[in-house]
Structure 1
């Protein structure tokens, strides 16, 4: 009996040893597997840069706070700068007031971190700034120009009521000459969106945007005695949108071969003379005025909304049935909205 017990004890001891050896082996294997795992910061910089480029501006900037390595990587891979209330102020944090002064201080602090000027794909400033903030905004515009940003948005309309155009003396004067300076460049600009700023009409600096494809002007004031806004010689311009800008007239200094889309809303124009042979879409909200779309034989759709205030055509019926069909004789689809006796009259011509 004693021998049998000794045999059993030996067998159980061997099993325990084997089990412990197996556990030890499994533990070492797990540790080796853990040590072989690839960490995120071990990836090549080009892959990490591609990851950062897919994040939002706020997310990518937060990654720059993780470590010095990530900060250097973020500085070298930063391709878009978006300065808005949502990106400069933490949502839900009421300890910091969303004032214009705090906004300017945060943007200045942010740009100081970018010691070099990266090539930007997008540069956006959207906040209710005014002319008294010119010192700050000029610095940002110069940074944008030197960085050769492709898509630029300078929109100071936040806080402004819908139909309020604002006084010109309070608006920031956008320095077009910055993009034609020795350090600036305008050939890289593809889209330009300006909102609630002033433009100097005595300058011809608009012509420097030779490769501009989309131009948007919203609540713009023009300095000087403006008789007619001459569109720039942008052979690449494809889309033009002007809204809530007091313009006596709009014309082109030469045919714009690539212009496809024109939107003119609440500009109170007196005349329109456009040379756009390949125009396909025309959208106008204005008082009844004579206009000429020279050579535009491919217009697929035209939307005309007539404002009844101070109309020289009375109830607009003469204008609707005589002037518009003559000016838009080649349009495939014409939509007209006009205020008649407090009602809306809509006509479609195919």
Structure 2
């Protein structure tokens, strides 16, 4: 879709020159054209207004407003300016971004918004603008709202935007007022806040007015200490990441199916979620679970998918005492590999999951050496494991040994995907930045195929 507007422009020019060209796309119904533009980046969609009178206002009805400025931030990172000069350039880009969003909202004519997404480095300096954006989206009965205000310069939590709408002299009492408070949130089904400060009280009030909220994601809020959401009927997905001051979460959601948490040890009532099937844990709480597995045994056995961010592999980590995870179908493990770590320490987790179908291992190598610490692991055939993915592959000993072990024991293995990109950079503009390392890892991966035990099962990205 990125080239769609260029093709339309070329067609329009041919028509103006009197050349024989049919513009069948412009003859499509208005609703179809709006849908087509909704699949394009916001700036590309807006450019279609120059094609002809027919196209002049089509883009103003697009129900997906995705103001993704991550490419601009990536280009800023690549400039390599010193701190003072870089701050000036970034401030200029911030005002350009603000003006871009303002101009789009001023022209917008759609009756409702499916998705409203903001992605840029913004702080309290722009609180009035951000307040207006939120109100605009809610007035348009937005279904999915995302504010990603990730700080690229100094990461100062004190400057984070405060949600919801407390920056213009509002208090929680005034927010409850039907005339001064938030617009109706009854249409909202998904709320994502990244690098946005939000208190537990403010979030509790806001969520209580979102009767059909299904997804809630909070990342990097320094104000979130205690969260009590009561019993949201429709909430299915809850994510709390890098909220390092949080101490407790009170929630009773019978329909919750997925919980993602990275942070300190908290009080969390797992017993209140009989339908939970997906769990992601990282940080101190993940380590607490590993060393106190007997407290979680009954709960873990009901899960279909588990993701564990283990950080570094510690010498006293022992997964042999884990309960049999009979329902587990997908297991994702992320570790930071040190100079002598052996990935085979994770093998008991695989064999504690007799019905495991897919395994994903993400390794962030700190100081990889050719030879890992020697470790003897008995062979134990696994009859259900069919798909394996190794992200962060370097082929310098430990990950190659781990793959060899899997091939020997996963007797029904159908595909093993090797991805040399760094796990934390996947999906970002930086994922192919270290191209030299990636190419070297790909060559080492192909050697595994040539040994004969992988053949067509190996996929190298």
Tell me whether the two structures share a fold, i.e. TM-score over 0.5.
yes
Q: Is the 8 A contact 1:236 1:258 kept in 2?
A: yes
Relative to 1, partners in 2 of residues 1:340 and 1:86: Cα closer, same or farther, differing over 3 Å?
closer
Q: Give the match for residue 24 of structure 1.
A: none
SS at match of 1:187: coil
Q: Give the match for residue 229 of structure 1.
A: 227
Deviation sequence 1:51-76 (CA, Å, 0-9, x none): 3334332322111243454233332x
Q: Are 1:238 and 2:236 counterparts?
A: yes
Per-residue deviation at 1:258? 1.9
In 1, distance between residues paired with 2:66 and 2:334? 38
Q: 2:51 aligns with which of 66, 71, 78?
A: 66
Q: Is the 8 A contact 1:250 1:273 kept in 2?
A: no
Q: Is the 8 A contact 1:272 1:292 kept in 2?
A: no
User: What aligned pairs does 1:1-350 form with structure 2 within 5 A after superposition?
Assistant: 40-75=25-60, 77-85=61-69, 99-114=93-108, 116=109, 118-157=111-150, 159=152, 166-175=155-164, 184-203=183-202, 204-205=204-205, 206-222=207-223, 226=225, 228-254=226-252, 256-265=253-262, 267-274=263-270, 275-287=272-284, 288-289=287-288, 298-306=302-310, 315=316, 325=323, 332=328, 343=341, 345-346=345-346, 347-348=348-349, 349-350=352-353
Higher strand share: 1
Relative to 1, partners in 2 of residues 1:251 and 1:104: Cα closer, same or farther, differing over 3 Å?
same
Q: Is the 8 A contact 2:35 2:62 kept in 1?
A: no
Per-residue deviation at 1:47? 3.7
In 2, distance between residues paired with 1:88 and 1:195? 18
SS at match of 2:57: helix
Relative to 1, partners in 2 of residues 1:277 and 1:200: Cα closer, same or farther, differing over 3 Å?
same
Q: Is the 8 A contact 2:190 2:214 kept in 1?
A: yes
Deviation sequence 1:143-180 (CA, Å, 0-9, x none): 1111111111100115268xxxx443210001168799
SS at match of 1:279: coil
SS at match of 1:251: strand
Q: How many residues align?
A: 295
Q: Is the 8 A contact 1:146 1:185 kept in 2?
A: yes
The root-mean-square deviation of aligned C-alpha atoms, in Å, is: 4.1
SS at match of 1:221: coil
Relative to 1, partners in 2 of residues 1:173 and 1:181: Cα closer, same or farther, differing over 3 Å?
farther
Q: Give the match for residue 448 of structure 2.
A: none
Long gaps (5+) in structure 1: 1-33
Q: Is the 8 A contact 1:246 1:269 kept in 2?
A: no
Q: Which has the higher contact order (CA 8 A, sep 6+)?
A: 1
In 2, distance between residues paired with 1:125 and 1:179? 25
Long gaps (5+) in structure 2: 1-18, 80-88, 166-171, 354-461
